């Protein structure tokens, strides 16, 4: 069972400027509610009530707005970064906190600026499988390729194993920024170091240690003011 989740909220949101010049992207509203609140509420519904949020750009607004999480029925913890450390670096910076909040090395990580109706509860059984694995694995949720990313990220085979994008035995899909990871994968990163996640995906896939699931429900990566306006119009 998943005991702790991490929400990534440290990005500058360059493509969302000028809105993000004064407001951190996860606090931008969709259907009258900040993007990150949709994620918090979805995690709470799945019984995941210990949540770590990393932040950097205008991060104090995030912690001030969300508080301790009591109004959402969860406990929120904050991992502050002076400058955004990218995904793997952000995990390493929050690693000790994640370890203290969970008896299991498996944790769920999601983006604070994705709007989706994905049901996180279905990942509890996957997490139970990962914790029994002899080596650290990851499990990624894959979605159809959006218009702005037609080439996709990885190929998902019928057996659930992920392969590089250039694999010819399936269609490349886009990583939906929803993933289960093993904390042990990030123990060697120096705290405070900026480290991208790409090498970890690549290594896990090359070693056959990355699986995935296909999701065809609502999933929107809200990247620009136009996309934000279009999503709000769709939901109005």
Q: Does 111 have pLDDT greater than 80? A: yes
CATH of 4-235, one of 3.90.550.10, 3.30.413.10, 2.160.10.10, 3.30.420.40: 3.90.550.10
In tens, the pLDDT along 112-143 reads 999 999 999 999 999 999 999 989 999 999 99
Q: How far apart are CA 89 and CA 196, in angstroms?
A: 7
Contacts of 145 (CB under 8 A, 6+ apart): 151, 152, 172, 173, 174
Q: How far apart are CA 76 and CA 53, in angstroms?
A: 7
DSSP line for 4-34: EEEEEE----GGGTTGGGTS-GGGSEETTEE
Domain ranges of the chain: 4-235
pTM for the whole thing?
0.94
SS3 148: coil
For 46, phi then psi, to 5°, come to -85, 5
Confidence of residue 223 (pLDDT cuts 50, 70, 90): confident
In tens, the pLDDT along 192-208 reads 999 999 999 999 999 99
- Return mean pLDDT, the chain: 94
How many helices and strands in the chain, by DSSP H and E?
6, 13
For 14, phi then psi, to 5°, come to -55, -45
């Amino acid at each position: 069972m998943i005991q702790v989740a991490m929400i990534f909220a440290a990005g500058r949101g360059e493509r969302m400027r000028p809105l993000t010049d004064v407001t951190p992207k996860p606090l931008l509203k969709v259907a009258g509610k900040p993007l990150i609140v949709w994620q918090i509420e979805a995690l709470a519904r799945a019984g995941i009530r210990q949540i770590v949020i990393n932040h950097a750009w205008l991060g104090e607004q995030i912690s001030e707005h969300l508080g301790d999480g009591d109004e959402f029925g969860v406990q929120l913890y904050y991992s502050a970064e002076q400058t955004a450390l990218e995904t793997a670096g952000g995990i390493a910076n929050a690693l000790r906190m994640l370890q203290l909040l969970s008896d299991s090395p498996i944790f769920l990580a999601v983006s604070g600026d994705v709007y989706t109706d994905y049901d996180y509860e279905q990942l509890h059984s996957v997490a139970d499988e990962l914790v029994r694995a002899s080596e650290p694995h990851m499990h990624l949720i894959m979605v159809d390729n959006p218009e702005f990313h037609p080439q996709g990220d990885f190929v998902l085979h019928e057996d659930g194993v992920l392969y590089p994008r250039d694999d010819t035995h399936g269609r490349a899909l886009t990583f939906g920024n929803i993933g289960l990871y093993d904390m042990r994968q990030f123990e060697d990163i120096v705290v405070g170091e900026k480290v991208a996640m790409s090498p970890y995906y690549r290594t896990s896939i090359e070693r056959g240690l990355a699986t995935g699931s296909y999701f065809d429900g609502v999933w929107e990566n809200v990247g620009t003011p136009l996309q934000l306006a279009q999503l709000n119009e769709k939901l109005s």
